Amino acid sequence: MTTVREALVDGKERLANLETPFLDAALLLSHALGISKEKLLASYPDTIPLSALHEFNNHVSKRLSGYPISYIRKKKEFFGLPFYVDERVLVPRPDTETLVEEVLKHIRGKSGMQKNLKVLDIGTGTGCIAITLKHLQPQLRVTAADISKSALAVCKLNSRHLLTEPLELIESDLFSAISGTFDIIVSNPPYLTSNEVAQMQERRWPEPITALEGGQDGLDTIRILINEGYDHLSGGGALFIEAGIEQIDAIEEIFRTRGYQGINSYPDLSGRNRAVSGYKPYVE
């Protein structure tokens, strides 16, 4: 019989070429056993059922092929919330928490107006942005939109599990099916270049390409968000966008050209600018 410790050592050795081999092995083994990582680490002498060991070995093989742990476990934590994920959606990244934090700061700065604020999350995917905002600020009127029906199905599932009331979901190619104006528009759009995505496809990257590719310079979707988003903002409304660290200067210029004011960029966990915002001036 194989013990937890033996399985972890074997898994770590098999995953040695990855960035975090021990952590990956621990997460995959705890998933196979149906226990927390903390309990796993306290169970070194325990033997593992053959069925769980077989499942663990299959998980390790998938991970070696480049499969994200989040897809294997069907779960990714974001802002402390457990989101369901699978191949229909992009796996939420820690950097996107920077985007959400800045939106929350903006909301908290609007004292006296919070109950009436309308928020639109474009390209919602798992719903991690929209659901987190609604979870932390229940008074918000949040709408989540995505071009993908399958992504919206994942968002709906997460909405039901994590919120007391469901989000309004709209199937829309960016703003094509969006009507009315919003106080806040937020998006983590596709912003990788075509070359970057081609390299990922060569490696058989499993995440949906439509959620990654932003055209030749990575800014195709962002240009539309900034230009068309302006018309869907109320006076004083703000647009928040996540982007690549090398794109920030170009994006700020697109904001300025369209007429936004108060343009700001925000650093991610590594201290590099990762998000940009601007607001539509009030009409006098």
Contacts of 125 (CB under 8 A, 6+ apart): 89, 90, 92, 146, 151, 154, 155, 188, 211
**Domains identified in the chain and CATH numbers:** 4-73 (1.10.8.10), 79-279 (3.40.50.150)
One DSSP character per residue, 193-227 reads -HHHHHHHHHTT--S-GGGTB--SSS-HHHHHHHH
H or E stretch at 234? strand 233-242
DSSP-derived secondary structure letter, 232: G
Closest Cα partner for 175 from 152, 151, 147, 148? 147
pLDDT at 111: 60
Distance CA 108, CA 1 (A): 56
pLDDT at 114: 58
Closest Cα partner for 48 from 56, 39, 58? 56
DSSP-derived secondary structure letter, 77: E
pLDDT at 181: 96
Please say whether the beta carbons of 166 and 159 come within 8 A. yes
Q: What is the pLDDT of residues 144-183, one digit of tens each?
A: 999 999 999 999 999 999 999 889 999 999 999 999 999 9
SS3 at position 176: coil
Residues of the chain with pLDDT under 70: 111-115, 284
pLDDT at 57: 95
pLDDT at 129: 98
pLDDT at 105: 94
pLDDT at 205: 84
Q: What is the pLDDT of residues 69-106, one digit of tens each?
A: 999 999 999 999 999 999 999 999 999 999 999 999 99
